Amino acid sequence: MTNLISNRTGRRFGTLLDPARLLEDLMTWQPAGSEVVWSAMSAPMIVEHSDDGVTITVDMPGVDAVDIDLTVESGVLAIAGKRGERTYNFNVTLDERIDPNTIEAKLDKGVLAVHAQKRPEAKPRKIMVNGGTQKTLDVSEPK
């Protein structure tokens, strides 16, 4: 068999006579130095940042609220859940601007929403600018 190009890790992408292997290799291809594997399916977890904090949405179909465990340790939020033989495990590293004491979670129709507030000092705020004297424009007609 004639091998096709090999990737940086030395693993062969497939052979000319094995299209199923080639397709499998292309669908699970991982760029060098990354941990993300391409998938045609949408991610079960979405992280959205806002000025107030962060909201993490996790798909956990069929899991009851009593079967979900959320823990924060050393700046990492661990989300675990179990439904029968199916287990869900997610770890999210929290930014140092996030206050771990403000984490709230809600489960609705198989979707877990976890919201954490930013620390007050990390939230954007308006700063007033003081001037020396206030000027007014004279809009009357010239004399």
Mean pLDDT of all residues in the chain? 76
Which pLDDT value is given to residue 135?
63
Buried b (16+ CB within 10 A) or exposed e, 93-120: ebeeebbeeebebebeeeebebbbbbee
For residue 55, give the nearest of 1, 139, 114 by alpha carbon: 114
Which pLDDT value is given to residue 6?
43
Which pLDDT value is given to residue 52?
87
Which pLDDT value is given to residue 111?
92
pLDDT tens digit sequence for 22-59: 666 666 655 555 554 445 555 688 888 888 889 999 98
Predicted confidence (pLDDT) at residue 93 exceeds the cutoff of 60: yes
Predicted confidence (pLDDT) at residue 133 exceeds the cutoff of 80: no
8 Å CB contact between 2 and 12: no
Predicted confidence (pLDDT) at residue 89 exceeds the cutoff of 50: yes
Distance from C-alpha of 89 to C-alpha of 58, rounded to nearest angstrom: 10
Q: What is the DSSP letter of 10?
A: S
For residue 88, give the nearest of 129, 51, 120, 59 by alpha carbon: 59
Share of the chain above pLDDT 90, in %: 22
